[in-house]
Every structure is written in C-alpha cells, then in structure tokens.
Amino acid sequence: MMGFDTAQSVRVWCRAESRYAERPTAFVWQGRRIAVQHILAQWREPSGPVFRVVGNDDRVYVLQYDEALDVWQMVQ
C-alpha cells in the first residue's frame, strides 16, 4: 500500500449513476493512468466517500473524495 504523510490530489474517473463519486474506475498517479480492477473496501468519512482499490498494476491505493472541495485525493 502507498504511504505518505499527507493526502495528494489525484485525477479520478468514476462511475456516477445516482450520485457523483459512486465508485472510481480509473485515476492518474505519477503520470500514469491506472484502471481500478477491484474495490477492496468502501466507507464514508465526514468529508466524503473513501475507496481502497486495487489498480491494474496490482498495487493497493486509497482514494478519497472531498465533497465540499470537489477534489479527489490519494491518502494513506
């Protein structure tokens, strides 16, 4: 799993049927577009939804959507 001291902004594509940020489908990290293969866990923080996902590079990432700021972040 990725580890850093602070959250970092990340560009995310997501599936949005009944609401935005329903589930991420891909994201750009370190200049590479990574497709989401599996969602391992999903929960809600006060700021918005959080997803622990496996990318097509077989690494685990944690993506959080801040609803008030309308921004996705890579956290951990």
Tell me the pLDDT tens digit for each residue of 33-74.
999 999 999 999 999 999 999 999 999 999 999 999 999 999
CA distances (Å), origin 37, targets 54, 61, 70: 6, 11, 24
Determine, yes or no, domain membership for 18: yes
Determine, yes or no, domain membership for 33: yes
pLDDT at 15: 75
Q: How confident is the model at residue 4 (pLDDT cuts 50, 70, 90)?
A: very low
**Amino acid identity, position 27:** F
Domain assignment of residue 12, given as a range = 8-74
pLDDT at 8: 79
**Count of structural domains within the chain:** 1
pTM over 0.85: no
Contacts of 25 (CB under 8 A, 6+ apart): 13, 14, 15, 35, 36
